[in-house]
Amino acid sequence: AASAGLDIAFEAAVGGGIPILRSLREGLAANQIQKVLGILNGTTNYVLTEMESTGEDFEVVLKRAQELGYAEADPTFDVDGIDAAHKLALLTAMAYGADLTFEEIPTEGIRGLLPLDFELAAEFGYRIKLLGVAKCHRGADGSERIEARVQPTMVPASSMLANVDGAMNAVEVLGNAVGPTLYYGAGAGEMPTASAVVADLMEIAREIQRSGAGPVAPLSYLPEHIVPKPVIPESEVAARAYLRFTARDEPGVLGEITSALGAEGVGIASVVQRKTAESGDAVPVIVLTHTTTEAALQSAVAKIAGLGGVTETPRVIRIEEEV
């Protein structure tokens, strides 16, 4: 397209009928974008909403989503976060002029989440969403480093994103001048997609009427200004986290878990041991951490997974407080 002197319009590529790309390019053009947070996949948002409201397991809800047409026969692209990572790569280019491919984005899907996770998230004041996160860390010298990730994330239950349910999409953008803005709507479907495609056609037609040439400017930056930018290694990303361990109900096991976290410098904000009639000899142990780096967290989790008293692979869910 560039060699032919043309451009490509692709509003429907992110958020279906939500005009998020046009908003970044035009409505927020005067802003330095500080953060982009997105619920970018309707299938996963439907599954998470249903798991939370019904208390049913992932596989049960996913099967119902397939029967209703929300999920493909092979749901891998959606439930493993790959679709959201593609869309986040486009949002990162639009917001920061960063040439980033989806393969460079740390991506984790929603498999392995349990109804217990939603129950405890509610007790702690959170809801769980598959979130695409993009931030630009700017140095005093004007340098920029990009943080981008797709992960199941706990967000405050009172936040706008937390209250996006079902198959809907939403993107929150924080600009230095405008503050937080939210773009909500149908992320897929025949008519929402057509709405975005026809809007692109109309923009092309307007340009033809105006100049006779017919190009559109689909990007926030000139193509030559969308360049590779350093990506912050996942190990350096810092956040709070929810950890779920399954451990034998024996003396000393909880102490070993907390000691392993402490040895890696992971601060503990709260510990919950949830014993039920079905727990048997193994009980869920839930830990909320203070802010810590991903490197320290993963090192501690690996040590805990190797403890004799821990019977299942630990589960980690990051917490995004400022939503």
Catalytically annotated residue among 35, 87, 129, 135? 87
Decide if 167 contacts 173 (C-beta within 8 A).
Answer: no
3-state secondary structure of 202: helix
3-state secondary structure of 69: coil
Chain centroid, CA 285 distance in Å? 25
Give the Cα separation of 21 and 65 in Å (integer). 28
Beta strand pairing status for 126-138 and 33-39? antiparallel
> How is residue 231 annotated by DSSP?
B
3-state secondary structure of 249: coil
Alpha-helix runs per DSSP H in the chain: 20-22, 42-54, 58-68, 76-79, 82-96, 115-124, 190-211, 253-263, 294-305
Q: Is 129 part of the annotated catalytic residue set?
A: no
Written as six digits, the tokens of 119 are 């129950």
Give the Cα separation of 159 and 161 in Å (integer). 6
Number of helices (H), then strands (E), in the chain? 9, 10
Catalytically active residues, by annotation: 87
